[in-house]
Amino acid sequence: MKNMNYGKYEAMPAVNIPDRKWPSNSITKAPEWCSVDLRDGNQALEVPMTLEQKAAFFAFLVEIGFKTIEIGFPAASDTDYNFCRYLIENDLIPDDVAIQVLTQSRKHIIDKTMEALKGCKKAVVHLYNSTSTIQREVVFGFGCRECIDLAVEGATMIADYISSDDSGTDFTLEYSPESFSSTEPEFAVEICDAVLDVWKPTPDKKVIINLPETVEYQSPNIYADRIEYFCRNTRYRDSILVSLHTHNDRGCAVASSELGLMAGADRVEGTLFGNGERTGNVDIITLAINMMMTGVDPELDLSDMNKIIEFYEECTGMVVEPRHPWAGKLVFTAFSGSHQDAINKGIKKMEETKSAIWSVPYLPIDPADVGRQYEPIIRINAQSGRGGIFFVLDKYFGIQLPKPFQKEFLAVVKEETDKNNIELLPQQVFDLFDDEFINVMEPYWVLSFAETIVSEGESEVKASITDNRVEKTIVGRGNGLLAGFVEAFCDYTGVKFYINNYSQHSMKSGSDSAAISYIEIKADGSDKTYLGAGVSSSVTKSSVRAIVSAYNRMIKSL
């Protein structure tokens, strides 16, 4: 086996915080959310959205509940500039929603950016420059001083523009030391504070300091350490909103954002379903529902997940994977037999106790809270156990199998799924049970019967049956209808048997209130039992049919 080239890589240095506080903290409220779907998300698409699609996406983000939406980089392309103007000139931005725009620290770019925002009611101007060692030395070829000067120069130009602006726009300022997570922690504090010295935030007029994990080089705990270090060491903590912007190169963007919030951050930038460059941005939907499942209001409306998925896929051309957290079509589906049994019992317990707190094994949230239904939860395949099979029969058809039937029918399902390597839909599960146990009509069947009370405790039963489709009449006596029918049937067939167990209940599905009866019989002198079921709108008819079904199954096995 070839060795992986692990020796050419090295871990990012840890941050020395011996008394770190974040591991003991919890997320107790939602952060301020900022969608970057129309910037990070859109630029990562093979086919970027049209202006009409972007406008529709913007409106959809507003509908979900976003109050800040990054719409692009107006100075970078006519497309982004025109979209910004389109939203403003057509009055498509609600009064309580701010649009966010990116700009680099260059005069002509800042001029074009501010021009794009004319007439906007609320806007976030997001200045950034790269600060990591590799970016400074390899890409730009300058040191820390030049990097700070570049940031301060841009901050000054923006501040000067805003001070002379008389349009009435409510501006919020944001600065990102791009590649923060691979920037020396001390330098990240230094450059951000230098920008803040220019912008002079106050507790009443805060500035956003966005601390991006532009590329995920480290584990989430190290990112959290860097966030806590920054929050502790900046001179402006009470006058800034600390914002997170994590990417998913290591598959840990959600964890990094969660730990970053525990470390003191106030705000999160991300995208729906994590769309973004490379492996994507943090998935705001996963992050928000993770909060919901701990009892925290996510302050976003994600109650119709199917609608969100349909809209997202239509606009972006992307596909939400079947196992995507909280959203994929299979995430509330159980195939494992033990899981199905546990879900079945958990749901029944919830119904019995009427508990206000959700507690169902293997279902961390109620699927209904994201617009899903219970019906798809149980799926039957070769891995399914009796719990799932019986949940389907009960939930869809009102059939509550007695234990002897459970064991025998489980074997029938296993044989069918193993033989054909298929998944069974609920109707197919019922059809299997129906074919195997219910109203088994060959070689015998009952057409009609009548009971006459002969004396107290004794009935005479006269029945019309078919024997291999030939009509016959049988008569027998016993202490009740079923006993009399069994006696008549035994006399006719010459095979003595008796009822070992009997139960019945009404079926909940369908327009008729049908009854189903379950019969367990034993042949005289034998310990082996045979099962049969009957269905009819009449309890007595369903019981007689169950006897004949059990008998037919018995003679077929002999």
Q: Provide the pairing of β-strand 207-213 with 240-246.
A: parallel
Residue 338, pLDDT above cutoff 80: no
Which residues does 77 contact at the CB level (< 8 Å), separation at least 6?
none
Report the amino acid identity of residue 138: V
Mean pLDDT of the residues in the chain: 93
Looking at residue 375, what is its pLDDT?
53
The answer to whether the beta carbons of residues 393 and 410 sit under 8 Å apart is no
Mean per-residue pLDDT for 474-498?
Answer: 94
Task: Provide Rg for the chain, Cα atoms.
Answer: 35
Residue 128, pLDDT above cutoff 60: yes
Report the amino acid identity of residue 316: T
CA distance 227 to 416: 56
Looking at residue 508, what is its pLDDT?
66
Q: Is the dihedral of CA 183, 189, 192, 194 positive or negative?
A: negative
Residue-wise pLDDT for 393-406, tens only, equals 888 888 999 999 99
Mean per-residue pLDDT for 333-356?
Answer: 86
CA distance 215 to 403: 56
Nearest to 440 by CA among 322, 553, 276, 311: 553
DSSP code at position 123: E
Nearest to 109 by CA among 87, 80, 88: 80
Residue-wise pLDDT for 510-532, tens only, equals 545 789 999 999 998 888 999 99
Residue 265, pLDDT above cutoff 70: yes
DSSP code at position 520: E
CA distance 220 to 329: 28
Intervals of CATH 3.30.160.270 along the chain: 444-557
Looking at residue 512, what is its pLDDT?
58
CA distance 392 to 525: 37
User: Regarding predicted confidence, which is higher, 381 or 492?
Assistant: 492
Q: Provide the pairing of β-strand 515-523 with 497-506.
A: antiparallel
Residue-wise pLDDT for 209-235, tens only, equals 999 999 999 999 999 999 999 999 999
Mean per-residue pLDDT for 254-269?
Answer: 98
Q: In a 10 Å sphere around its CB, with 0-12 CB exposed, 13-18 middle and 19+ buried, how is residue 29 labelled? A: exposed
Residue 167, pLDDT above cutoff 60: yes
Looking at residue 257, what is its pLDDT?
98
CATH of span 444-557: 3.30.160.270
Mean per-residue pLDDT for 475-486?
Answer: 94
Residue 376, pLDDT above cutoff 60: no
| H/E element, 173 | strand 170-178
Residue 162, pLDDT above cutoff 80: yes
Residue-wise pLDDT for 279-315, tens only, equals 999 999 999 999 999 999 999 999 999 999 999 999 9
Indicate the pLDDT class of residue 368, thresholds 50, 70 and 90.
Answer: very high
Report the amino acid identity of residue 229: Y
pTM for the structure as a whole: 0.79
Residue 378, pLDDT above cutoff 80: no
Which residues does 505 contact at the CB level (< 8 Å), separation at least 6?
400, 515, 516
Which residues does 556 contact at the CB level (< 8 Å), separation at least 6?
none
Report the amino acid identity of residue 353: T
Looking at residue 392, what is its pLDDT?
84
Report the amino acid identity of residue 378: I
Q: Provide the pairing of β-strand 240-246 with 267-270.
A: parallel
CA distance 245 to 247: 7
Residue 379, pLDDT above cutoff 70: no
CA distance 504 to 532: 12
Backbone angles phi, psi at 425, to 5 degrees: -80, 160
3-state secondary structure of 469: coil
User: Regarding predicted confidence, which is higher, 63 or 403?
Assistant: 63
Intervals of CATH 3.20.20.70 along the chain: 30-316
Residue-wise pLDDT for 438-478, tens only, equals 989 999 999 999 999 988 889 999 999 999 999 999 999 99
Indicate the pLDDT class of residue 383, thresholds 50, 70 and 90.
Answer: confident
Least confident interval from 23-27, 208-212, 425-429, 495-499: 425-429
Q: Which residue has the tokens 């021009």?
A: 115
CATH of span 30-316: 3.20.20.70
Mean per-residue pLDDT for 251-273?
Answer: 98
Percentage of residues of the chain with pLDDT beyond 90 = 78
Secondary-structure breakdown of the chain: helix, strand, coil percentages, each rounded to the nearest 5: 45, 20, 35
Looking at residue 374, what is its pLDDT?
52
Indicate the pLDDT class of residue 434, thresholds 50, 70 and 90.
Answer: very high
Looking at residue 264, what is its pLDDT?
98
Mean per-residue pLDDT for 171-192?
Answer: 96
Looking at residue 191, what is its pLDDT?
98
The answer to whether the beta carbons of residues 28 and 303 sit under 8 Å apart is no
Question: What's the Cα-to-Cα distance from 175 to each of 99, 127, 340, 462, rounded to whole Å?
Answer: 15, 5, 50, 92
